[in-house]
Every structure is written in C-alpha cells, then in structure tokens.
Structure 1
Amino acid sequence: MLEELAAAMLDYTDRKKGMSPYFTPIDSMAILRSDHPKPPVHRVSQPAMCIVAQGAKWASFGENKLEYKAGEALVVGVEAPSIGRVTEASPDKPCLVLAFELDLVIMRSVAESLDEPPKASGDTGRGVFVTNFQGPLADCALRLVRLLDTPKAIPTLYPVIMREICYWLLTGPHGGDIIRMALANSPSQRVLEAMRWLRERFAEPVRIDELAEIAQISVSAFHRQFKALTSVSPLQYQKQLRLLEARRLMVSRAVNVEAAAFQVGYESPSQFSREYARMFGEPPKRDLKRLASRLQDDIIQGDHKAMLMGAA
C-alpha cells in the first residue's frame, strides 16, 4: 500500500508544472515533494495531518523533536512555531508528503456517532504527535490522491474519505489526543482559544493572568496545559511568533532590522538582535544574507517556492 501511495504521489507531481508544494483540487490538501535533504526551516505550523509516503523528516516544537518517516504521519492540532527538516530524499527517491487539514466538524460528527468514543484522560493533551498510518489510513490516503484525477467527484467523495480518516484516528492509539481537537468545551479547546487571542495580539505586551482567564483556569494550570500542547511556554510562544514575523518582514518586504523589531513589539533593537540570533543561529543581517544565498541555490535546484513557504 505504501509503495502504491508513493507511486501515485510521484505520478501526480511529475505531471504538474511548477514546484513543491503542489496544491490540489482539494483546497485543504497539498503534496510536498523534495528531491534533496533540506536545511532546517522555521515556520508556524498549521493544524494538519502530514503523511510521509517516502523519505523522512523531523519537526521540532520547543523541546519536543519528532522524527517521522515512510509509514508514519505527523498530526498537528495547534498552530505553533516549529522547525522542520527533510532528512531523507534523493532525485531517485524523493521525500513525498501528503498534507491536509483535519476537518473538525466531520471529526465531531464521527465522534458523536461512536458507541464508545475515546476518553480524553486528565486535563492535559498533546497538541502534536506522530502516529502510524499504515493499513486503513494508508488506503484512505491512496484514495485521496487518486481522487485528484476526477475533480468532479471530490465534493461527493472527499467528505466520505475524511469521515473514514477521522474514524480510524478516533479509534486508534491516539484517540484520546484526537478527541481533544474535536470537543468544543474540552480544557484543550479553551487553552486554544487563549492561544488564538495571543496570536492575534503577539506584538502587544502579554499578561498571563489574562490568558488564563480566557481559558477559564488558574495561571498554573494554564502554563501546564499550554506547554503540553505546544512544548513551549506562553512567553516563548509569543517571542517565536514575533521573531518569525520580523524575519518575514525583512525577507519579503525588505523592512530594515530596526523597523521590523519595532513592528513586532520590541522596544530595544539590541534585545531583538540577541533573541533573533538565539533562535536563528545568526544576527539578522548575517541571517538575511545567508537566506538570500540559499534562495539562489534553491532557484537553481527549482525549489525556491518551497523554501519561501517553509514546505518540504
């Protein structure tokens, strides 16, 4: 099944013009292909399931580093800063990843239809984990890729396949973590609401007690649950969002270092430069020069779009 899935994804990308990521007729799904290992890429990961049909990658969320390879999938239930890298890829055997959003409306519907839905243990759930997807899930993934060749069938068949994916996830070994994404009133959902509030105001000073109040829990419980979901503290989360946005402004809009620092909420350019260097390994100007050189290399290799978007 795994070889069939990789062959179908390879065939699809070979027939498409342009470069990875390959967007598909299913709006919430893309195929990521890399013919070479990649340097680490900083990005804000979106809630999704990323299935590896061939090759290998790793993703790091705070102190939590997750490796996943062919036959495994990364499930991301929170929007969080991360570092990702393609570690196993070659022109003869590219790294192939099928990435799609998990439809929480369908997830809730499937959960409600189960005679014995999974129980979310305790008050803290994981927001990111790796799961095996061979067997029924691999069959679903293969049917999704084959569905791309018949776009008119997508509105009818895609929801059916997604329901099946949700079923296997909910009844699998990580059902307790998956159910937390679907339950609107779970502790994790209330923390996610506070997290959303923080993302929308990341350039402003943050008070943890305000975030805890949004989540309707104590400050200590909020810290614990926030870190369980994202692997970083709320202040680290805010700092990473600020630095990623500043980097984007400098790369894509040619904003100078000082202006970028102020736009994302820093009052001290020197503090900004120190924290930027800790996160990206180099001070801003040197990092931007390295990124420009890397972009040129990726253009030569035909992967500049993937590099700009932080994809595989």
Structure 2
Amino acid sequence: MTIQSEDTLAALANGSTKDALVEETIRLANLISGQTPYDGTFSQRIPGLSVSRYSRVNEDYVKSFDMPSMIIVAQGAKTVTVRQEVYRFNQSQILMLPVALPIAMKVTHATYTEPYLSVKLVLDPHKIAEMALRVYPQGVPAATKWSAGYILSADLGMMNAATRLVQCLTHTGDAELLAPLVMDEILIRVLRSPIGSWMAELGFAGSEAHLVTKAIAWLRNHFSDPVKVAELAEMVHMSESTFRVHFKSMTSMSPLQYQKALRLHEARRLMVSESLDATTACYLVGYASPSQFSRDYSRFFGSPPKRDVVGLRPQVTADSNLPLE
C-alpha cells in the first residue's frame, strides 16, 4: 500500500480543480454560443443579463457608458480602459466595474472558430446592500483599495454559478424562478471575494464609497446642469478635498471630467438615435458653445460629430448601449 504525502495529495487536488474549472468554462462557452447566433451583444429575458459573441478583434477602442456590472469571460480576451487605467482580462477571468463609468473597450483575442464569448451582469446596488448584510453581519471590514475596476480570477464555484444562470435560459420557467436565486449566489460569491469589502461599502449608507455613488447618481441625472465641485461635495456632506480624492479613486477621473463624458455620450445618443444635428444636441446636453462642443467631441471620440455619427448609424441595433439609463 502506497501512502501519499500531503503535498502530493494537495497537488493532485489542485490539478483536479483546474481541470474541473476548464470543463466548466467550456460548458459556459457552449451555452453562450447557443444564445448568440451572430456577432453582437444580446440582452436576455433574465433582468440585467446579456451575452456577447465577437469573432474578430477590434482595431480601435469602442467607447460606451457602462452601468455597474461584471463581465465573465468564457473564451477569448478583451481590454477595457477607464481614462488611464487599463484592464486586460481573458478566459475564466472577471472584470468588475462597481460604478457607472464611461469606458473604452476592444476585443483582443477572437477568431471565427474560437470567438470571444462572455456573460455580463448589471449590478443592483440595493441587492448588493441586502446581500452584504448577510455576508458581513458583524460589519464590513475596511476596504484596502478603491479603483474604477477590478480583475478577478473566477473559481470553480463562480464559473459553475454563471453556467447555471445562462442554463436557466434553456428551460421553461427557470429564468423567472431559479435565475434570481443564482444571481443572489453570484453576488454573495463576489462579496466573499478579495474585493468583497469594497463592493459591500457601496451599499452601506454613510460610507464614503456610498456617498460618492450618490454624487455620481446626481451627475447622471443632471448632467446638463452647471455644477461646482464644492457644491457636489456639500451635497453629500464631504469636504471638497476628500470628495475629490475619493471620486477620482473610484472613477479614475475628476467630477467635471465625468460630467463632460456624460454630456458627450448623451449628445452622441441624441444625434444617432434621434437624428438631431450637432448644434441642437450640444445645447441640450449643457454646452453653451458649439465650437467648444465640437472640439471636446473630437478629442473624446476621435472624430468630429458629423463624421462620427455617419459612421455609427449603420451599426445601431436594439441592444445599443448608448442611452444613459
């Protein structure tokens, strides 16, 4: 009889877990493929869930405004930037974007036979707060690092939960009855992850992270209004200096840079979706000068408004992420 050492047993168990993770990732990729008949992003009947398939890499970054979300990659790779911050993630990795942000993204690894495949979940701050009370009944540990985004390696439990969530789309009634339970499980797993305490802080009233999210919500709802940073800070009961530091750590930009991005994204939406001219869109989003709007727009999107919109209109689909919610 051979007695194996503890190190040998641990190595065997680790190898078995890695194999199981690979198998689960392949299962998830196959399920996503079944929900994506061609390249694009497809919203599903499970609220907050979408799946994506892309068979070519992007030469240029695509800019959008994303809600708080998590993206789980089953195949391929993608890069997302938030101003100067760069997040590269691939198979079996997760990108967490805890707050609503203007981002630029591109698929960096994909082929026709092995396309980029991913699952995206929009995060509900109220549900996060509810789950955080269960995960941290004695209080949330202090968050050690704030960032606009985080990359996590998915473990077998998380990947299995994502697989079961997408699988709910294939059985009658599961999307309505079982999917909400799986969504709760995924949130609990995130809250128990290395960034769990940071995510939990977002849901607790009075925390500095929560106060910044309130300021972000105000900016999103009043992006066309003139505002001073001091007034925003006073609105959420923080000193201006503290507010500036925390806002930038959570978004990688200043409050006024964030407001400008909101205005430009909304102007783009108005021109593409509602066929407004640049001057009309410029005034509607809060600009006083069409020439300044054109300069800002060109710097932000890489082309002046008219040329950019002409290139975008044929690409607009029902799943477009341009509208601000």
Q: TM-score, normalised by structure 1?
A: 0.88
Aligned residue number for residue 233 of structure 1: 254
Aligned residue number for residue 309 of structure 1: 321
**The residue matched to 1:184 in structure 2 has which SS?**
coil
- In the alignment, does 2:220 pair up with 1:208? no
Aligned residue number for residue 270 of structure 1: 291
- In the alignment, does 2:149 pair up with 1:128? yes
Paired amino acid for 1:243: L
State how 1:112-123 maps to structure 2 within 5 Å.
112-114=133-135, 118-121=140-143
1:215-264 CA distance string (max 9 Å, x none)? 21100111111111111100100111111111122222222222221111
Cα pair 1:120 1:179 within 8 Å, conserved: no
Quote the Cα distance in structure 1 between the aligned partners of 2:56 and 2:310: 22
Quote the Cα distance in structure 2 between the aligned partners of 1:22 and 1:200: 26
1:91-139 CA distance string (max 9 Å, x none)? 21111110112344443333323366651336x7334211111311001
Aligned residue number for residue 6 of structure 2: none
Larger relative contact order (CA 8 Å, sep ≥ 6): 1
How far residue 268 of structure 1 moved from its aligned partner, in angstroms, is 1.2
Cα pair 1:126 1:177 within 8 Å, conserved: no
State how 1:212-227 maps to structure 2 within 5 Å.
212-227=233-248
**The residue matched to 1:99 in structure 2 has which SS?**
strand
How far residue 169 of structure 1 moved from its aligned partner, in angstroms, is 1.3
RMSD over aligned Cα atoms: 2.3
Bigger mean CA deviation after superposition, 162-171 or 272-281: 162-171
Aligned residue number for residue 301 of structure 1: none
Q: 1:31 aligns with which of 44, 51, 56?
A: 51
Quote the Cα distance in structure 2 between the aligned partners of 1:309 and 1:104: 20
How far residue 23 of structure 1 moved from its aligned partner, in angstroms, is 2.2
Aligned residue number for residue 8 of structure 1: 31
Bigger Rg, which one: 2
Count of residues in correspondence between the two structures? 298
Q: 2:186 aligns with which of 165, 171, 177?
A: 165
Runs (5+) with no aligned partner, structure 2: 1-23
Q: 2:160 aligns with which of 128, 132, 139?
A: 139
**The residue matched to 1:21 in structure 2 has which SS?**
strand
Q: Report the identity percentage.
A: 34
Runs (5+) with no aligned partner, structure 1: 299-303
**Aligned in 2, Cα 1:150/1:62: closer, same or farther, shift over 3 Å?**
same
Quote the Cα distance in structure 2 between the aligned partners of 1:98 and 1:246: 28
Bigger mean CA deviation after superposition, 127-136 or 229-238: 127-136
Bigger mean CA deviation after superposition, 214-223 or 158-167: 158-167
Bigger mean CA deviation after superposition, 111-120 or 25-34: 111-120
